[in-house]
Structure 1
Amino acid sequence: METKRWQLLISGRVQGVYYRASTEQKASSLGLTGFARNLPDGRVEIIAEGPEDRLDQLKTWCTEGPPDARVDAVDISPEPPTGEFSGFSVR
């Protein structure tokens, strides 16, 4: 399968609610690589690489997030895959 890379920017109440840790668990279970990190403006940035169908599953999960999160928007930007990641991590 062809590897794709997406940048996902998650807006809403997504910091301080275990969003990054939950994303790491979900992405790892899907076999995706990349990272999740908090941004200074209150959003969470996710860089994920893997097959498009699994990226779609992650996107669907991101619209809900963990129980205490409130997701207002998920913005996706495709990027060229780099293959630089060996797993999925929280930064």
Structure 2
Amino acid sequence: MKTMEILFSGKVQKVGFRACVRNAGQNLGLVGEVENLPDGRVRALVTGEEVIIEKFLATIYSCPRAIIREVSATEYVFTEFSDFSVRRE
């Protein structure tokens, strides 16, 4: 198990993207959190098996209304989450 920090840029705020990220993660059995950043990006911390996280990243592009221009994924300090939540400002 590992935790990844994933940053999404493009048209990813105010289009239901965080809910789509949460649902995709939950459907694959991942846990974590997703939040909007002040600079317009969306940040997700995702914990699970590496192969499942890779599958998660592939499914995110099907989120409706979002236009993902760039994805940056880096390993993060292992973090345990109880579920997959959307952080609100």
TM-score bucket of the superposed structures, by smaller chain? over 0.9
Please report the RMSD computed on the Cα atoms of aligned residues, expressed in angstroms.
0.9
- Contact 1:65–1:71 under 8 Å retained in 2: no
SS of equivalent residue, structure 2 residue 15? coil
Alignment size in residue pairs: 87
**Alpha-carbon separation, structure 1, partners of 2:52 and 2:73:** 14
SS of equivalent residue, structure 1 residue 23? helix
Runs of 4 or more above 6 Å deviation: none
Displacement of 1:81: 1.1
Within 5 Å, give how 1:1-91 maps onto structure 2. Answer: 3-62=1-60, 64-83=61-80, 85-91=81-87
Cα distance per residue 1:25-71 (max 9 Å; x no partner):
11001111110100000000000000011100111123x14211100
- Structure 1 alignment gaps of length 5 or more: none
**Alpha-carbon separation, structure 2, partners of 1:11 and 1:55:** 18
TM-score, length basis structure 1: 0.91
**Alpha-carbon separation, structure 2, partners of 1:79 and 1:26:** 20
SS of equivalent residue, structure 2 residue 19? helix
Residue identity over aligned pairs, in percent, reads: 37
**Alpha-carbon separation, structure 2, partners of 1:48 and 1:79:** 9
- Structure 2 alignment gaps of length 5 or more: none
SS of equivalent residue, structure 1 residue 22? helix
- Contact 1:22–1:65 under 8 Å retained in 2: no
- Contact 1:6–1:49 under 8 Å retained in 2: yes
